[in-house]
Structure 1
Amino acid sequence: MSKHILFTGGGSAGHVTVNAALIPFFKRQGWNVSYIGSQDGIENEIITEQFPEIPYYGISSGKLRRYFSWKNFSDPFKVMKGLLEALTIIRKTKPDVIFSKGGFVSVPVVMAAKMSGIPTAIHESDFTPGLANKLAVPFATKIFTTFPETLNSMPADKAICAGAIIREELFTGDKAEGKRLTGFYENKPVLMIMGGSLGSRKINEAVRKNLQELLLDYQIIHLCGKGNLDPALQQKGYRQYEYVSTELSHFLAMTDYVISRAGSNSIFEFLALKIPMLLIPLSREASRGDQIINADSFVKQGIALKLEEEELTPETFKHKMDELEQNSASMISAMEKNESSYTIEDIFHELSKLSK
């Protein structure tokens, strides 16, 4: 009889990427796969588009805030509703093991798994654990981290450093197909700009204010986020997309430089593909500061440059782009010496042991 794994995680693309990397491997091993996410979160869109054959269960999801909001008084009831819904789904589907990538929706699922006696693993991509994973730790059977330093804040008897989990399809990109899709045939380097799953207004503005100057030196793929396209700017050598999925591997295959936020999943993918990167992490005002810590770690290793969002202007942006080009060879050399592991098969074996 086939084993069954249930994945959960959502709220942002970063909380879905690792699950999307693992799902095909488990399917190839003959496992049944299902997913619990929020009813209207980005995870619903990504999972149902990439894996339409997988049962997707939407549950109620509150938001865990560190600041005052009147919704803090109503959201606990949403979490309780989500817990009851997760309990019903788990008892109906009877998974052998649950894998949680984090995000608000995962907390009631991990709690329900503990109440149902189902072994559960959680994964923390960032240098410092997020609030959802902090709440989930007591209910988890196993904890995987990307950064070795994260183990210091986790229970020693549960946690192991698994390294980065990279989507296999990213290594199969075709440069020629990328050129066909974009129409980029000039003998200029390709610059990819990514502002996260929702895009970044500040990064978009900096790019567009420098666009004509940048186009003198680069062909540009700009992933600007939903609703952020500017049709008036579409021109030769500049392609805008709200979001890409199947095309991403081909785009990355032709990319010489990348400008990105500093979410752990993305920056480890650029590291694996050895693409020099300029990181513009989310500010502490807009986040818990995890992206700043991630970026600092990469800068320290000589594999990235960082530009603080508060310092982002058209002038500082252009200056950092010049610095990125000048330092690209040394960055690639440092990346080639990096010993980060990409361990989908190892994760599979660990989860297989939990499911026994």
Structure 2
Amino acid sequence: MKVVVSGGGTGGHIYPALALIREIQKKSKDTEFLYIGTNAGLESKIVPRENIAFKSIHITGFKRKLSVENIKTVLRFIRGVRDSKRILKEFNADIVIGTGGYVCGPVVYAASKLGIPTIIHEQNSVPGLTNKFLSKYVDRIAICFEEAKQFFPASKVVLTGNPRASEVQNQDGVKGRLSAGLKLKKKTVLIVGGSRGARPINDAVIKSLVEFGQKPYQVLYVTGEVHYEMVQKEVQIIGNPDNVLIKPFIHNMPEVLAGVDLVVARAGATTLAELTSLGVPSILIPSPYVTNNHQEKNARALSDHGAAILIKEQDLTEDRFVREIDQILLNESKLESMKKKAIELGIPDAALKLFHLMEEVSNKS
């Protein structure tokens, strides 16, 4: 079988795609893959490192306001469809799977017009413009949140979960703790704002450092590489408590996630899939700077079921920040209850479910 995968722009679209590819490789070793992205996106760097064939098209996203740039985007879309049809024919694709980002638009649309079976995978509780557009043309729509069903034709929707979640299962939490320099028998909160960090979360941590130093738990604080030097300058003035470890980035995040008791983070779809897969309670501070405010809606899918605490960025204060961490880590019954709720929201074997959906769609063609 020849499988084309397209997804780009952010890791939230790319890593689920790679997780799916790895699952297919385990189940069907003779499958050939082609990944179509853009040269400007992260996929152009990440995918080739995985030894997956990569081709690019030129496309940009639509602006939400009327502009001349949108006219140019329409023209790029038309060219992107033309280029995608050529690539798909040359590769002789059997199925095309889109995992999000505007690059999927012309690729998946071109496949549908060529009569090639198609699937899109929506990671968020609220879909973006591209997947809403493609939902009219594809054969199946795989979703990760029940809340996303309402935006798509019901007959096409299948709840599969996020393939990335499958990759964090069965991780060695002890190894993760040791790799990060954490003590094994001490309650631990991981605070992270994403790969690039988040300034409001960094500010809250810096203001809380002295108080953290008086707590019986340990803090692993990941600043993001962009903010690390600035944070270190502040820490030199305030002081770095012995129970607070500060790092710019963590490369083995699944292992570390498996070893901590609580996570404070943004509410990206991949992060939430990992947390529910592992059953890790969380305090979620959604980014307000994303399309359709989808991170807050993602977070509510957990907080409304007792698996997380939601704090809007505008409500993030030093006092509340520390208080919410204390109320979870220092209350064993609450911690256990949140773990149970998180596990209940997880979708087991997400990558396998998506693989079976792919088989179903390709067999019908």
> Normalised by the size of structure 2, how large is the TM-score?
0.87
Does 310-319 or 20-29 show the bigger shift?
Answer: 310-319
2:136 aligned residue: 138
SS at 1:297 equivalent: helix
Matches within 5 A, 1:18-57: 18-28=16-26, 29-30=28-29, 31-49=31-49, 51=50, 53-57=51-55
**Do the aligned residues in 1 keep the contact of 2:273 with 2:346 (CA within 8 Å)?**
no
How much does 1:205 deviate? Answer: 1.8
Structure 2 counterpart of 1:355? 362
2: CA distance between counterparts of 1:318 and 1:70? Answer: 47
Rounded to whole Å, the distance in 1 between the matches of 2:344 and 2:171 is: 23
Would you say the 8 A contact 1:195–1:224 is kept in 2? yes
> Which SS does the other structure have where 1:123 is aligned?
strand
Q: CA deviation at 1:69?
A: 5.3
| 2:118 match | 120
Correspondence for 1:270 among 267, 270, 275: 275
Is residue 89 of structure 2 the alignment partner of residue 95 of structure 1? Answer: no
Q: Distance in 2 between matches of 1:339 and 1:35?
A: 28
Q: Displacement of 1:338 after TM fit?
A: 4.4
Paired residue type of 2:281: P
Superposition map of 1:44-83 within 5 A = 44-49=44-49, 51=50, 53-67=51-65, 71-83=69-81
Alignment of 1:192-211 (within 5 A): 192-211=190-209
Q: Per-residue deviation at 1:337?
A: 4.4
Partner Cα separation in structure 2 for residue 280 and residue 85 of structure 1: 40
Percent identity reads 28
Give the 3 Å change call, closer, same or farther, for CA 261–315 of structure 1 in structure 2: same
Q: Please state how far the C-alpha of 1:349 moved relative to its aligned partner.
A: 1.6
TM-score (norm 1): 0.89
Q: 1:73 to 1:215 in 2, by over 3 A?
A: farther
Separation (CA, whole Å) in 2 of partners of 1:126 and 1:274: 19
Question: Deviation at 1:298?
Answer: 1.1
Shift of 1:190: 2.3
Partner of residue 255, structure 1: 260
Higher helix proportion = 2
2:169, 2:346 → 1: CA distance?
17
- 1:297 matches 2:301: yes
Supply the RMSD in Å over aligned alpha carbons: 2.3
Match among 230, 234, 247 for residue 240 of structure 1: 247
* 1:332 corresponds to 2:339: yes
Q: 3-state SS of the aligned residue for 1:210? A: helix
Contact 2:160–2:347 (CA<8 Å) still a contact in 1? no
User: What is the one-letter code of the residue matched to 2:228?
Assistant: L
Letter in 2 for 1:241: P
**What CA distance in whole angstroms lies between the structure 1 residues aligned with 2:343 and 2:203?**
33
Please say if residues 124 and 146 of structure 1, whose CA atoms lie closer than 8 Å, have aligned partners that are also in contact.
yes
> Does 170-179 or 257-266 show the bigger shift?
170-179
* Alpha-carbon distance in structure 1 between the residues aligned to 2:72 and 2:345: 46
